[in-house]
């Protein structure tokens, strides 16, 4: 079983739709959860960063973590064509050292159609 599973899509939605992106994971030691957005020919850009279970909201974006189900989600409200990108989930547990390793999903390609 892969450590992090993420449906690669592609996902195509009309402008204004609510988008739900998800990842599941198997390592119960993961405590820190991130979502990155990657535009074509660009590097990943940190969107959301959460610790443990719960919700975090930032503008049109909401990140949810359910550690009991080992499931994380990113919701995008009122989606815009500029949201078209690949969305990567990433997570980490206590490394016990001075750095930490991120384990990434494969990414979901999202297209928002005007």
Partner 1 sequence: ETGVTQTPRHLVMGMTNKKSLKCEQHLGHNAMYWYKQSAKKPLELMFVYNFKEQTENNSVPSRFSPECPNSSHLFLHLHTLQPEDSALYLCASSRSGEAQPQHFGDGTRLSIL
**Given the rule CB under 8 A, which residues bind partner 1?**
4, 8, 31-32, 34, 36, 41-46, 49, 51, 88, 90, 92, 94-95, 97-107
Instruction: Output the smallest distance, CB 23 to partner 1, in A.
Output: 11
Of the two residues 4 and 112, which places its CB atom closer to partner 1 in the complex? 4
Asked if residue 75 lies in contact with residue 46, where contact means CB atoms within 8 angstroms, the answer is no
For partner 1, the closer of residues 3 and 57 by Cβ is 3
Structure-block tokens of residue 21? 């992106």
| Least separation in angstroms between CB 18 and partner 1 | 26
To the nearest whole angstrom, how small is the minimum distance from the Cβ of residue 100 to partner 1? Answer: 5
Cβ closest to partner 1, residue 32 vs residue 71: 32
Q: Where are the alpha helices (DSSP H) in the chain?
A: none
Q: Measure the CA angle with vertex 106, ends 23 and 58; round to 5°.
A: 50
Distance of CA 8 to the CA centre of its chain: 12
Residue 81: φ, ψ to 5°: -55, -30
CB of 94 to partner 1, least distance (A): 7
Nearer to partner 1, 34 or 112 (CB): 34
Mapping DSSP to helix (H, G, I), strand (E, B) and coil, where does residue 81 land?
helix
């Amino acid at each position: 079983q892969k450590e992090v599973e993420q449906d690669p899509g592609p996902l195509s939605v009309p402008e204004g739709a609510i988008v739900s992106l998800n990842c599941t994971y198997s390592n119960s030691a993961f405590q820190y959860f991130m979502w990155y957005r990657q535009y074509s020919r660009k590097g990943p850009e940190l969107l959301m960063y959460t610790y443990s279970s719960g919700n975090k909201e930032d503008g049109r974006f909401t990140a949810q973590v359910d550690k009991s189900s080992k499931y994380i989600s990113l919701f995008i409200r009122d989606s815009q064509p500029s949201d078209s990108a690949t969305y990567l989930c990433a997570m980490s547990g206590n490394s016990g050292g001075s750095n930490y390793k991120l384990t990434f999903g494969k990414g979901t390609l999202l297209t928002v159609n005007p």
